[in-house]
Amino acid sequence: GAVVSQHPSRVICKSGTSVKIECRSLDFQATTMFWYRQFPKQSLMLMATSNEGSKATYEQGVEKDKFLINHASLTLSTLTVTSAHPEDSSFYICSARDEGTDTQYFGPGTRLTVL
């Protein structure tokens, strides 16, 4: 299957700092990428849909000023968690849609811990 990478895989930061997570589609171009968050033993929660060259679409209840999304190219989307707090600690997973195969592939995820 297609490969989606995420970096970093794990990050620990102090409260109040910002953290940037990168998501790359390695062997296909992705007009649309998605950002999810998952707390322990809970379901995936879609945070936002990232569209190349335009503004992201955020799900209800997700603060767009706190979770900044940039999709500057067809292979890269970034999520920046601004002024992170301990309650933002979670597993963040990106996903990219391969329109050629109409399939969505997931990155390996980034585990964020805010102290």
Give the residues lining the site for another protein (CB under 8 A): 1, 32, 34, 43-44, 46, 49, 91, 93, 97, 102-109
- Residue keyed to tokens 């945070």: 47
Interatomic CA distance for residues 34 and 26, integer angstroms = 15
Whichever of 49 and 89 has its CB closer to another protein, that residue is 49
Reference 35, options 14, 57, 11; nearest CA is 57
How far apart are CB 43 and another protein at their closest, in Å? 4
How far apart are CB 82 and another protein at their closest, in Å? 23
How far apart are CB 97 and another protein at their closest, in Å? 7
Angle at 67 between CA 62 and CA 100, to 5 degrees: 90
Interatomic CA distance for residues 24 and 77, integer angstroms = 7
Whichever of 81 and 96 has its CB closer to another protein, that residue is 96
How far apart are CB 69 and another protein at their closest, in Å? 14
Interatomic CA distance for residues 71 and 68, integer angstroms = 10
Whichever of 28 and 105 has its CB closer to another protein, that residue is 105
Whichever of 93 and 114 has its CB closer to another protein, that residue is 93
